[in-house]
Amino acid sequence: MSKVLDAKVMAVLPVAPETYYMELEAPEIARLAVPGQFVHVRCSNSQDPLLRRPISIHMVSRPKGILALLFRVVGKGTELLAQKQIGDVINVMGPLGRGFTLPLPGSRVAVAAGGIGAAPLVFLVQELANMKCQVTVYLGARDKKNLLCDGQFVQMGAEVVIATDDGSLGFKGTVPEMMRRHNDWRRTAMTYVCGPKGMMKEISAMLAEADVPGEVTLEEHMGCGVGACLSCTVKIAHHGQITNKRVCADGPVFPSWQVVWD
Ligand SMILES: Cc1cc2nc3c(=O)[nH]c(=O)nc-3n(C[C@H](O)[C@H](O)[C@H](O)COP(=O)(O)OP(=O)(O)OC[C@H]3O[C@@H](n4cnc5c(N)ncnc54)[C@H](O)[C@@H]3O)c2cc1C
Ligand code: FES
């Protein structure tokens, strides 16, 4: 059950280059949301841009009725969002989509995050920590300045292993390259992945080879956000058949072994 409501901006601040953290007062959405879901945000009060923009649910505080987003400015919609001030009102639809499958309490799990892909995984790790799971986060970014959410993951009790493309912090290289040097993820009940498509594709292949179940969060351009316009379809292999699935309604989270990558 999703809601459409006017949410008051309670906080908005830059946290990394072109990256903003925003808190919205949206108690109904915070109450219903589960990790992996997203909200569809109207970034402007005018007709430009006309379409809402999908942004993952980064965190919720149910007692305070707060919904937190973490987003990177890449175009007009996200730029307008970054310019919002405390007290402004934003129309938000959500929570939308299908979230992550949670493991049994106490399980050992891995989380692989690249760049802004860390955004939805903070809510997930918060939930996993509540379930007393043992969590290792493989966290990557272009460089140290662009590394996101490392402090939050540590605070939630996760082990955090860092990779940066330029070696300015942690392992020098990509998240999949770093994971190849670690064995912990091979013994997990589930590995959750969110990041650039190339990274998710590579890790999905590694998980399949190691026979580890995984879930990935897919991103596609969206229209309606609720399953009606079919603008967000991806190819999913299921029981030997390839079918079109809608990222907004059937995902954004999909089993890693079912995704047919371009
Ligand atoms: C389910 C879901 C969750 C998301 N969660 C987050 C999040 O938590 N934080 C965040 O920063 N971003 C997230 N995104 C991406 C975000 O929706 C886009 O960056 C945003 O819509 C861009 O809007 P814009 O008007 O700023 O840019 P536009 O002008 O629309 O586009 C700018 C550039 O970004 C590309 N782009 C735009 N949207 C997408 C998309 N959906 N997939 C791939 N490329 C795209 C365009 O091709 C173009 O090159 C998510 C996307 C989806 C589908
Ligand atoms: S955005 Fe319309 S069906 Fe997914």
Per-domain residue ranges of the chain: 3-96, 108-217
- Of the listed ligands, the closest to the CA of 36 is 1
Query: Ligand 1: which atom is nearest the Cα of residue 58?
Result: 8
Token digits of residue 17 = 């280059």
Which residue of 15, 42, 53, 247 sits with most ligand 1 atoms within 8 Å of its CB, as the best mutation to test the pocket? 53
Tokens 């892909």 correspond to 117
List the CATH code of the domain at 3-96.
Answer: 2.40.30.10
| Mean predicted confidence (pLDDT) in 89-104 | 97
* Distance of CA 54 from the midpoint of ligand 1 (Å): 7
Non-local (6+) Cβ contacts of 62 within 8 A are: 27, 30, 31
Instruction: Give the span between the Cα atoms of 71 and 122, in whole angstroms.
Output: 13
Output the pLDDT for position 6: 96
What average pLDDT does the structure give for the chain? 96
The letter for the amino acid at 261 is: W
Distance CA 9, CA 21 (A): 11
- Asked if the model's pLDDT at residue 106 lies above 90, the reply is yes
> Which ligand has the minimum distance to the alpha carbon of residue 217?
1
Dump strand ranges (E) for the chain: 3-16, 19-25, 38-41, 53-56, 59-61, 66-72, 89-96, 108-114, 134-141, 159-164, 171-172, 190-194, 214-217, 233-238, 241-246, 253-255
pLDDT at 50 over 90: no
Residue 1: which pLDDT band, with cuts at 50, 70 and 90?
Answer: confident
**183, 191 contact by CB (below 8 A):** no
**Which tens digits make up the pLDDT trace of 108-153?**
999 999 999 999 999 999 999 999 999 999 999 999 999 999 999 9
Residue partners of 192: CB distance under 8 A and separation at least 6: 100, 109, 110, 111, 112, 121, 124, 214, 215, 216
Closest ligand 2 atom to residue 233 Cα is 4
Ligand 2 pocket: which of 51, 230, 236 to mutate (most atoms <8 Å of CB)?
230
- Whether residue 254 has pLDDT greater than 90: yes
pLDDT of residue 124: 98
Q: What is the pLDDT of residue 49?
A: 87
What integer pLDDT is reported at residue 12 of this predicted model? 98
**Which residues, judged by CB distance below 6 Å to any ligand atom, belong to the binding site of ligand 1?**
38, 49, 53-56, 70-72, 74-78, 116, 119, 219-222, 247, 252
The predicted pLDDT at position 242 comes to 96
pLDDT tens for each residue of 15-49: 999 999 999 999 999 999 999 999 999 999 888 88
Count Cα atoms within 13 angstroms, Cβ side, for 142. 6
Q: Identify the band that residue 100 occupies on the pLDDT scale cut at 50, 70 and 90.
A: very high
CA dist., res. 234 & res. 261, Å (int): 9
At residue 104 the predicted structure's pLDDT band, cuts being 50, 70 and 90, is very high
Pocket test for ligand 2, best of 41, 219, 224 (most atoms within 8 A of CB): 224
Binding residues for FAD: 53-56, 70-72, 77-78
What SS3 class is residue 248?
coil
Ligand that comes closest to the CA of residue 229: 2
- Encode pLDDT of 142-171 as tens digits: 999 999 999 999 999 999 999 999 999 999
What's the CATH code, domain 108-217? 3.40.50.80
Q: Say if residue 179 is exposed, middle or buried (CB neighbours under 10 Å; 0-12, 13-18, 19+).
A: buried
Q: Which atom of ligand 1 lies closest to the CA of 217? A: 1
